[in-house]
Amino acid sequence: MNSIIESVASSMDCDNVELVEYLPYILQDFTEIGACPEVITDLVKRNTHNYPSLKILDLGCGKGSVSIELARALNCFCHGIDAVEGFIKEAKLFASEKGVGDQCIFETADIRERTKELKDYNVIVLAATGPLFGDYESTLKGVLPCLANDGIVIMDDWYKIKNDNFTHVRLFEKQEILRQAEAAGMLLSDEHIHEKTTELGNSYSEEYENLKKRCHELTQMHPQKAEMFKNYVNKQSEEYQILQNNVICSALVFRKK
């Protein structure tokens, strides 16, 4: 299994693990990192009940946008975990600003270790994290002990467009994801497919320009690392093209068999 920093680097599309320490600076203009809080909230509403009693575990929570929206909309308890300390500091600040600081707990930890100690969560969110434990089967098996018997796992990710020849190291066909989920003891119960709108394309463009600007600033501050920042900008340009043209972005809801 990769180190936690290698896992973070993979989920954040970093070819160089050294870049991870600069992610809070590069992504300082982002509140949401890779997932739509409103979509996750809608799926929780559709697939649970008695919202104020919910315990929600947000793994790879980034700056906490999903947890904060869930706590605000459903008046529930949310526990966010991320390996990037800079993201967690911002999550705590944002939660306080939104008036849900008492309903949200955020901590810096290795998710793969921390999940060994947690249990009885009604909802587990894996939003744009990729397969944290190596593949989807291992990831779902890894978080399953944290889940209440009637709980759900929401996995916001991407999968391959059918009959498309495009390949990517982290890209699977939907049926393969479902096969791995079933091998982990879980079945698909709901799904939201993200629509590719002009508005979304404009949002991608704005995000890219912001991270490009921050990488340029870092290049001025650390000229000896200019190549690393340049490579990241180029990688992100490719990733945004992939999101718009080569994959289906979807939030999948799983339940225990």
Q: Mean pLDDT over residues 228-250, rounded? A: 88
* Greater model confidence, 87 or 9: 87
Mean of the per-residue pLDDT values of the chain: 91
Give the per-residue SS3 of the chain: CCCHHHHHHHHCCCCCHHHHHHHHHHCCCCCCCCCCHHHHHHHHHHHCCCHHHCEEEEECCCCCHHHHHHHHHHCCEEEEEECCHHHHHHHHHHHHHCCCCCCEEEEECCHHHHHHHCCCEEEEEEECCCCCCCCHHHHHHHHHHHEEEEEEEEEEEEEECCCCCCCCCCCCEHHHHHHHHHHCCEEEEEEEECCCCHHHHHHHHHHHHHHHHHHHHHHHHCHHHHHHHHHHHHHHHHHHHHHHHCEEEEEEEEEEC
Q: How confident is the model at residue 222 (pLDDT cuts 50, 70, 90)?
A: very high
Give the highest mean pLDDT range of 130-139, 163-172, 241-250. 130-139
Residue range 150-181, pLDDT digits in tens? 999 999 988 888 766 777 767 788 999 999 99
Q: Where are the domains of the chain?
A: 4-11+34-195+248-256
Q: What is the pTM of this model?
A: 0.91
* Greater model confidence, 63 or 171: 63
CATH 3.40.50.150 fits 4-11+34-195+248-256, yes or no: yes
Residue range 48-60, pLDDT digits in tens? 999 999 999 999 9
Lowest-confidence region among 13-17, 109-113, 155-159:
13-17
Q: Mean pLDDT over residues 14-42, rounded? A: 89
* Greater model confidence, 21 or 168: 21
